[in-house]
Amino acid sequence: MAKAYLSLGTNIGERRVNLQHALDLLGDSPVIQIKQVSSIYETDPVGYEEQDTFYNIVIEIETTYTPEQLLEFCLAAEIELGRVRLFKWGPRLIDIDLLTYGKETRKTENLILPHPHMTERAFVMIPFMEIAPEEAAHFLQKEKIASQNIYQTDLQLKW
């Protein structure tokens, strides 16, 4: 099985419930095992800023999916959970991004590994550092995320 890290975020509706539903859907897959889940962090939006704050987590999984299959599963999960893509960086019911897949690097039309923007996003790097400090340290660029607002919540998820 391959180790992968996913970032999940939401800023529409019941945000904790949205994250829980996404975890449930991922955990129900016979080829995905959830190994770790970060705390829930509340973060300001990035890009388009005229929207509600996000709840974000990072999870570690093990899977027999290939990177491409995992990406397709994540995109299908977003649709199943009700995501509608209105515009880039817009509000979202759920967003599931593939951050890393083992030590693999890829650059195709549909998939870039490691995720090309994760080093710029505190909402990815802080929870990633929480659950996998050694792996995340390779990507951490403190100067890029230092000015971003991010707050650890006391909310809990079941996995």
Residue 137: how many CB atoms within 10 A of its CB?
Answer: 11
Which one, of 10, 111, 122, lies nearest residue 69 by Cα? 111
Contact (CB, 8 A) for 101 and 70 = yes
CA–chain centroid gap for 134, Å, is: 18
Q: What b/e string do you get for 81-106 counting C-beta neighbours within 10 Å, with b at 16 or more?
A: bebeeeeeeebbbbbbbbbbbeeeee
Q: Hey, is 65 helix, strand or coil?
A: coil
Q: Which residues contact 77 (CB under 8 A, 6 or more apart)?
A: 22, 25, 26, 94, 96
Write out the catalytic residue numbers.
Answer: 83, 92, 95, 97
Total count of residues recorded for the chain? 159
What residue has token string 């006391």?
154
